[in-house]
Structure 1
Amino acid sequence: MVLTETAGNVLVITLNRPAARNAATAQMALDMARILDEFEADDELFVAVLTGAGETFCSGMDLKAFLRGERPSIPGRGFLALTEAPPSKPIIAAVEGYALAGGFETMLACDLVVAAETAKFGIPEVKRGLVAAAGGLVTLPERTHRAVAVEMALTGDIYPAEFGQRNGFVNRITGAGEALDGALELAQKIAANGPLAVRVSKQIITESADWPSADKFSRQRVLSDPVFESSDAKEGAAAFAEKRDPQWTGR
């Protein structure tokens, strides 16, 4: 129910239940946990793109399975094994159609979002007597204004792609049916860069939000100094001087 393929140094992950609008199941969460672990461990893969089969990214939790006592989450890792513990490498959401509830929260767990102009977003859990506990209430306020997050969480309304871009949780908008191509183009730009530098840059941006102001640069140095001393840093400088493409090793 979750498919993978590679495009150079990019891993494409596809949620594959189109007949159910890619509603998430426990098996899908297990599949995602395995796939993300393999992605992290593979030195040849630099970036992942997450998308959905058919015309929907992910409509959230499979409510029929929920009534049977099933939850599409992994303890300590969250919804679809992603929302509480994203990979250290970059991951991009390519969104066509609906990204709702857990699907929207899965999208928020990605570092970048490329959405078709026809995409729709929302956390409608309150309409089902539930709360958006996979990131809608804690991650969304970090990605947009608090007032926007409160409105989305308390109304459960559905919003268009332009609203997402205007309010900071969508990076790029494409034509309908072109989100995956747009995400792959963005992924290839990232994958062309030094993978160690990219990974540490993401780590610093993520972790520094909780650092005291007085300690930000000292804490950054702990992470950034090894990058400056790495083989990739030397390779990047040599490739520039020799007017050639760098050959990264991630070390």
Structure 2
Amino acid sequence: MSEELVLTRAHGRVLEIILNRPPANAINRAMSRAIYTALRELQDNPAYSVGVIRGQGERIFCAGWDLKETAGEGGINLELENDPEQGHGPGGFAGITEFHDLTKPVIAAVNGAAVGGGFEIVLACDMVVMADHAFFSLPEMQRGILADGGAVQKLPKMIPPNVAKDLLFTGRLMEAEEALRWGLVSKAVPVAELENTALELAQEIAQGAPLALEALKEVLAYVDGMSAREAMDRVKGGGDCDCPIYHRMVSSEDAIEGISAFAEKRTPVWKGR
């Protein structure tokens, strides 16, 4: 992983991933693969339970796809974009938008403008905190393309569809106050407080049992789109669902430890199994 493109910092059980391609943190193919490498470390290293993604600086989280790189190559080359070695890599655009087997929760700490693919990175995360001066925007329509790296697929399910269409068709800005109102973000804070706010939230989440954290993300993805009745039938009590982490969790040592610790009024000692 190139430290020039992506920096990582360990904070106990939290791995902070910092986009570091100034001035705009625009995503080229090399950066996509670097972000994926950092997320792969989060996923595979049992020392980590939660990830935090933020941009370097206080002005721009991520300006999205590096269109200058694409323009210099004569336009979109789908064969190259999808090449596992030279393209965006196994995690898709920005290393996260198609990292479907990432089972550890990730928090986006949006330190500034999140534009186009930068907004799609945010939509790929599990929780979002943002600086109160930051904003979201999807200007792809004005570039002759669609925001198909996650926005058209996810945004209409996350906020009222008419609001999502407004953003997609017009490319207008959504500022922090509006993002809070629609529930896209959990908190909006002054930029000086953003990193600590995100890390404190991540540390709070990381206190949970590691296997249960992964099982929760797995189950939430599994039941997405199901009716409540079907989801209950398939998941309740370790039911008939294709969720291997969830099934391991139900009979895990940590499940026994959590119940025992509660009964004994002590802090649980997790083993991740």
User: The TM-score by the shorter chain falls in which range?
Assistant: over 0.9
Looking at structure 2, the residues matched to 166 and 150 of structure 1 have their Cα atoms a distance apart, in angstroms, of 17
Cross-structure match for 1:41: 44
Q: Which TM-score applies when normalising by structure 1?
A: 0.93
CA deviations on 1:35-79 (whole Å, 9 max, x unpaired) are 222211111100000000012110111121111337596355321
The worse-fitting range, judged by mean Cα deviation, of 150-159 and 234-243 is: 234-243
Matches of 1:28 and 1:77, distance apart in 2: 11
| Corresponding residue for residue 93 of structure 2 | 79
Structure 1 stretches lacking a partner, 5+ long: none
Matching residue of 2:123: 108
Q: Provide the rounded CA distance (Å) in 2 between the counterparts of 1:185 and 1:214.
A: 35
TM-superposed CA distance for 1:237, in Å, is 1.6
Deviation at 1:168, TM superposition (A): 1.8
Q: Is the 8 A contact 2:36 2:90 kept in 1?
A: no
TM superposition score normalised by structure 2? 0.86
Counterparts in 2 of 1:233 and 1:149: CA distance versus 1, 3 Å? same
Moved more, 238-247 or 195-204: 238-247
Partner of 1:88: 103
Count of aligned pairs between the two proteins: 250
Picking from 178, 181, 184, the partner of 2:199 is 184
Residue 72 of structure 2 aligns with which residue? Answer: 68
1:168 partner SS: coil
Structure 1 match to 2:266: 244
Of 208, 226, 251, the match for 1:211: 226
Q: For the Cα contact (< 8 Å) 1:96–1:177, is it kept in 2? A: no
Residue deviations 1:189-239, cap 9 Å, x none?
Answer: 110011111111122122202335543223213444542321001111222
Aligned to 2:18: 14
Equivalent residue letter for 2:138: I
Which residue of the partner structure matches residue 157 of structure 2?
A: 142
Runs (4+) of structure 1 exceeding 4 A deviation are: 70-73
Equivalent residue letter for 2:234: R
Where does structure 2 lack aligned partners over 5 or more consecutive residues? Answer: none
Q: Which residue of 1 aligns with 2:171?
A: 156
Measured in 1, the distance between the counterparts of 2:112 and 2:12 equals 27
Check 1:243–1:73 CA distance in 2 against 1; reply closer, same or farther (3 A cut).
Answer: farther
CA distance in 1, matches of 2:195, 2:230: 39
Q: State the alpha-carbon separation in 2 of the partners of residues 88 and 51 from structure 1.
A: 19
Percent identity for Structure 1 against Structure 2: 39
Q: Distance in 2 between matches of 1:15 and 1:38?
A: 15
| Counterparts of 1:5 and 1:115, CA distance in 2 | 19
Q: Is the 8 A contact 1:11 1:48 kept in 2?
A: yes
